[in-house]
Amino acid sequence: MSRISTLGLLITLLATITCAFPAFGVEAEFVIHISVDGLRSDAVTALGPKHAPNFYRLRTEGVFTDNARTDADETVTLPNHTTQITGRGVAGDNGHNYTMNKTPSPRATLHTNKGAYVSSVFDVVHDNRLSTCLYASKEKFVLYHQSYNEIHGALDSTGEDNGRNKIDAYVFSEETNDLVNSYLIAMKRSPYNYCLIHLRDPDSAGHGHHWDVATGSEYLNAVAKIDRQLGAILQTIDDDPILNRKTTIIVTSDHGGRQDTTTHRPSSDAENYTIPFYVWGSGVAKGADLYKLNENQRADPATARPTYAEPIQPIRNGDAANLALMVLGLGPVPGSTINALQRLNVAPK
């Protein structure tokens, strides 16, 4: 076994032993993990509180940074979403190694690509008798349904056997208004403990019209549409006694995009690897900067693009998986290396 593999194994073992419960006192029964595809951080600030009131509610009532990072090597959709649900970077022995970004063949899974099972946040939540869902607005997210279904999901070795199907509900719709409405109907009926919701609109606008943050641009209009969908989610939480004060929202993105082109490559471009990361909910600090809350363990990278070898990491979209599990009172994703000790602080100091 290589030195890097041994280190990854030790990190995971230590995390499993020490992090069975939330480290910072933030607990919730429900986590809504929202990935806004192609969201530049400065799109929200360009809209401002008048045109993005719900993003700003997350900022003022929760914790956030506008300077989080994607995966250290990739700034495309499926690799970065795989990082978000597995807590692993893309490359290397400890990475999930999934680099493709198209609708997979019906037999393709993360595991066949890696040559070994790749655990996810869905595994940990499901195997602890909690419910999960995936609401996706791009067809290629079927990759996760295929990877964690009743055939390809791992055997449940945690307590009672809850089966191999790790995702209780998989819903796909390109119309994100319909997608969110469907999700909210389901949550009112029987809330899922963890859900990943993928919203495509800013990415579609960016590819069609550039990632232009000028007033009135197609891209900013798409981000404003997402803000309205966030408003519907927040209103549902406010109005539902089951969800109110028991729900944490994590919002991040898979990549940004370049204002002068319709692409989010190369991955070395700061416009592409700079993304937001928001956390909102009961027990979460209010209006706090994530780097200031984590000043001894995370470093604001300014405009740099740190590798995973840096001893002090930036906040990354890959933090989402183990943060969600920490909030739910569960240990980390097996094999994860990003926030594997579940020490990302979102509570007041």
Bridge-based pairing state of the strands 63-69 and 274-281:
antiparallel
Question: What percent helix, strand, coil does the chain show, rounded to 5?
Answer: 40, 15, 50
Backbone angles phi, psi at 35, to 5 degrees: -110, 115
Q: What is the chain's alpha carbon radius of gyration, rounded to the nearest angstrom? A: 18
Cα gap 172→93, rounded to integer Å: 32
Please give the Cα distance from 332 to 20 (Å, whole number): 8
pLDDT digits (tens, 9 = 90+) for 256-281: 999 988 989 888 999 999 999 999 99
Reported as a single tens digit per residue, the pLDDT across 45-81 is: 999 999 999 999 999 999 999 999 999 999 999 999 9
- CATH classification (class only), 3-327: alpha beta
- Which strand ranges, in their side-by-side order, compose the sheet holding 288-289? 169-172, 132-136, 194-199, 30-36, 247-252, 274-281, 63-69, 288-289
3-state secondary structure of 182: helix
CB-based contact 291:300 (threshold 8 Å)? yes
Q: Tell me the per-residue pLDDT of 234-251, one tens digit each, with 9 for 90 and over.
A: 999 999 999 999 999 999
What is residue 91's predicted lDDT score, i.e. its pLDDT? 98
CA-CA distances (angstroms) from residue 86 to 64, 92, 343? 21, 14, 16
Phi, psi of 21 (to 5 degrees): -135, 160
As a whole number of angstroms, the distance between CA 63 and CA 60 comes to 8
pTM (2 decimals)?
A: 0.93
pLDDT for 19 equals: 41
| pLDDT of res. 25 | 66
| pLDDT per residue as tens digits for the range 283-311 | 999 999 999 999 999 999 999 999 999 99
Residue 16 has pLDDT above 60, yes or no: no
Q: What percent of the chain has pLDDT over 70?
A: 93
pLDDT tens, residue by residue, 35-44:
999 999 999 9
Q: Residue 349: its pLDDT value, please? A: 86
Residue 13 has pLDDT above 70, yes or no: no
- Mean pLDDT of all residues belonging to the chain: 93
Beta-sheet pairing, 63-69 with 288-289 = parallel
Q: Letter for the amino acid at 139? A: E
Average pLDDT over residues 157-175: 97
pLDDT per residue as tens digits for the range 192-219 = 999 999 999 999 999 999 999 999 999 9
How far apart (Å, rounded) are the C-alpha atoms in residues 230 and 30?
16
pLDDT > 90 fraction of the chain, expressed in percent and rounded: 90
* pLDDT score of 180 more than 90: yes
| CA–CA dist 32, 230 (Å, integer) | 11
Q: 3-class DSSP state for residue 116?
A: coil
pLDDT of 103 reads 98
* Residue 332 near residue 15 (C-beta atoms within 8 A): yes
